[in-house]
Amino acid sequence: MIRDYSDCELPEAGALLMIEVDGNEENMGFATRAIETAASNAGLMSINIARNEMERQALWRTRKALSPALRKIAPKKINEDVVVPVSRMPVLLDGLELLSQQYAIPIINFGHAGNGNIHVNLLVDPDNRTQMLNAERCLSDVFDLVLSLNGTLSGEHGVGLEKKDYVDREIEPATLALMKKIKQQFDPNNIMNPGKMLPDRE
């Protein structure tokens, strides 16, 4: 999908993992070898090590090309940043693949594997009403899957408007009521991000 946007040699793989190490220059060789050893398992196809700044930047350009490349598949992406414990990431990804098949919606995932923060992208046509209804149901199941894995609904992008109606699946009513009271105390006229974050229903 992203080969047209990348100047890196990319293998025909189901997943790519980019790992960046930093520190003193004299330690880079040791750190790189340690990562290479840790990554060498039965599922590994290849390792591509950036040997200089130009190669490092090429890898980052490839990573940053992911989001715009999604438009090659569908005109709209529904992008949600969810988090699960790192040990549960394989279960999450397997579950997302099943949901993709169930709802006939392409789901592309990328993000920050080191802390379990995954950007789940549902790729849809906004003019296709049936597909948009399926996407709504699929997204609900995505959030249920995340919570079943002891995850959370947002890792870095916040709740905003799209997720607020799902927050009460994760946060108990007493805590939500307290959060609303705190907001009312500091924002009695509801002028700070009105209608965001907290669900409207009691």
Q: What is the pLDDT of residues 163-178, one digit of tens each?
A: 888 989 999 999 989 9
Buried b (16+ CB within 10 A) or exposed e, 68-103: ebbeeebebbbebbbbbeeebbeebbebbeebbeeb
121 SS3 class: strand
pTM equals 0.85
Domain ranges of the chain: 3-66, 73-148
**Model pLDDT for residues 100-144, shown as the tens digit of each residue:** 999 999 999 998 988 999 999 999 999 999 999 999 999 999 999
**Model pLDDT for residues 71-111, shown as the tens digit of each residue:** 888 999 999 999 999 999 999 999 999 999 999 999 999 98
Q: Does domain 73-148 have CATH number 3.40.50.720?
A: no
